[in-house]
């Protein structure tokens, strides 16, 4: 089947690409393996020079890449530029810090000399989603390449132009040919790539279903695996919170990227004393978002990435309303061409609704009112997901104590959940395992080797 690049704002086809056959795939994997064998011998200084060059190209091409994301997956230009700049930041970060993160650690034992070394593992297969088509790739590729690994990318089939642009980026930065390769393969062929003896580890960002399948195959072939899956992040507002600030960040966190983010504030949980006041502010600010063509500089909310995703989201919404949730803003698809869905809010969501238990991957916020802080923490943990969380309070020390009770990979106090190259990123429970970014991320795909000498 062909790869189809579709503009979600118009539902018109931009380009089509032919998928590879098995011979093409096996040849590409072999070339990547050969390139990585030579790459191991390079110094960190030499790797850093190329990675800095990639960062420079990202800065130079920020408008080009933002425009590509706008037409291929519907990301507004201002958000696309921010994504490209974040990619450059990650490249620069690992160019500077990789050598230190990979430094041999001397350990005192009964040996004359003993230490722990970090050695590259080989070829890392990245199975990546469409929602952040550049940063999701860079955040695994930059540390993996700086560690001495090679990378092969199976990107989402709906963003082939972004996938090929990333391959060209590393080629133009003068990384060795084939060291970073985009695999133009179907989802079914991922299994063959995992099974190949040329692939040594797998990292996936995507749905819980995809994660379970990839992890299963990686386990069968004894390949190291890192998964960053879905999330249904709690956004807790305590009675002493700055409601204006909390409402501003709730809108930004929930509706950026048209709500298509694993770490969006998907479950808004205000305590009873301030619930009415907060919800009123939140509705007003969400209603002011300007929806439109993502290539328009004033657009704040573009289309969803595909029509089928919009249909799935709306079914979750209509089912939840039938189960007792109240639609207080939006909650109806926008008529006309494209996959547009307005900023929407469901209030009075309870455990009897789909919205309470499922991830809503689109521009729909759900309000779950808590009687007090204790119930707010219970609601935050009453989910199979465990990616991010945030708490809003003027008493940050008290909020920090509450955050320690939340089962999630990260907790932010008076700030929206986001990834940062300096901090590890990942989840627990059905949100996956393993970590990306920081020194934790670069060491995930290394052989942590003990050396003992007498």
Active site residues per annotation: 228, 262
Query: What is the residue whose two structure tokens read 């995809």?
Result: 210
- Backbone phi and psi for residue 328, each to the nearest 5 degrees, phi listed first: -110, -5
Name the region of 348 (left: φ>0; alpha: ψ -120 to 50; beta: rest). left
> CB of 179 within 8 A of CB of 195?
no
> CB of 263 within 8 A of CB of 252?
no
Reduced 3-state DSSP string for the chain: CCEEEEECCCCEEEEEECCCCHHHHHHHHHHHHHHHHHHCCCCHHHHHHHHHHHHHHHHHCHHHHHHHHHHHHCCCHHHHHHHHHHHHHHHHHHHHHHHHHCCCEECCCCCCEEEEEEEECCEEEEECCCCCCCHHHHHHHHHHHHCCCEEEEECCCCCHHHHHHHHHHHHHCCCCCCCEEECCCCHHHHHHHHHCCCCCEEEEECCHHHHHHHHHHHHHCCCEEEEECCCCCEEEECCCCCHHHHHHHHHHHHHHHHHCCCCCCCEEEEEHHHHHHHHHHHHHHHHCCCECCCCCCCCCECCCCCHHHHHHHHHHHHHHHHCCCEEEECCCCCCCCCCCCCCEEEECCCCCCHHHHCCCCCCEEEECCECCHHHHHHHHHCCCCCCCEEEECCCHHHHHHHHCCCCCCCCEECCCCCCCCCCCECCCHHHEECCECHHHHHHHCEEEEEEEEC
């Amino acid at each position: 089947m062909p790869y189809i690049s579709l503009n979600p704002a118009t539902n018109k086809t931009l380009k089509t690409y032919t998928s590879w056959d098995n011979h093409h795939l096996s040849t590409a994997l072999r070339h990547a393996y050969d390139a990585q064998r030579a790459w191991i011998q390079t110094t960190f200084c030499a790797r850093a020079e190329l990675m800095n060059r990639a960062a420079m190209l990202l800065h130079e091409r920020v408008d080009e890449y933002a425009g590509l994301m706008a037409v291929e997956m519907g990301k507004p230009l201002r958000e696309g530029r921010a994504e490209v700049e974040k990619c450059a930041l990650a490249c620069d970060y690992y160019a500077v810090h990789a050598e230190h993160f990979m430094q041999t650690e001397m350990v005192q034992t009964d040996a004359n000399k003993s230490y722990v070394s970090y050695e590259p593992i080989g070829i890392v297969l990245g199975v990546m989603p469409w929602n952040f088509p550049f940063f999701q790739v860079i955040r695994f590729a930059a540390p993996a390449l700086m560690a001495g690994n090679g990378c092969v990318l199976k990107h989402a089939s709906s963003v082939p132009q972004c996938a090929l642009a990333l391959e060209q980026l590393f080629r133009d930065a003068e990384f060795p040919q084939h060291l970073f390769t985009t695999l133009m393969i179907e989802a079914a062929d991922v299994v063959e790539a995992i099974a190949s003896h040329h692939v040594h580890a797998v990292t996936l960002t995507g749905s819980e279903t995809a994660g379970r399948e990839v992890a299963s195959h990686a386990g069968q072939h004894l390949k190291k695996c890192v998964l960053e899956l879905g999330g249904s992040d709690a956004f807790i507002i305590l009675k002493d919170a700055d409601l204006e600030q909390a409402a501003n960040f709730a809108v930004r966190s929930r509706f950026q990227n048209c709500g298509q983010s694993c770490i969006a504030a998907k479950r808004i949980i205000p305590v009873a004393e301030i619930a009415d006041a907060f919800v009123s502010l939140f509705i007003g600010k969400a209603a002011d978002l300007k929806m439109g063509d993502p290539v328009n500089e004033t657009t704040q909310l573009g289309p969803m990435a595909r029509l089928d995703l919009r249909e799935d989201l709306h079914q979750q919404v209509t089912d939840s309303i039938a189960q007792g949730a109240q639609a207080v803003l939006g909650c109806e698809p926008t008529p006309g061409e494209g996959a547009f869905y307005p900023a929407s809010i469901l209030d009075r969501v309870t455990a009897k609704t789909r919205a309470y238990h499922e991830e809503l991957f689109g521009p729909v916020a759900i309000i779950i009112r808590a009687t007090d802080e204790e119930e707010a923490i219970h609601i935050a943990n009453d989910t199979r997901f465990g990616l991010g969380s945030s708490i809003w309070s003027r008493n940050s020390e008290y909020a920090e104590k509450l955050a320690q009770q939340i089962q999630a990979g990260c907790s932010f106090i008076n700030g929206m959940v986001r990834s940062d190259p300096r901090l590890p990123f990942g989840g627990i429970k059905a949100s996956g395992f393993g970590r990306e970014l920081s020194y934790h991320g670069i060491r995930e795909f290394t052989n942590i080797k003990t050396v003992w000498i007498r």
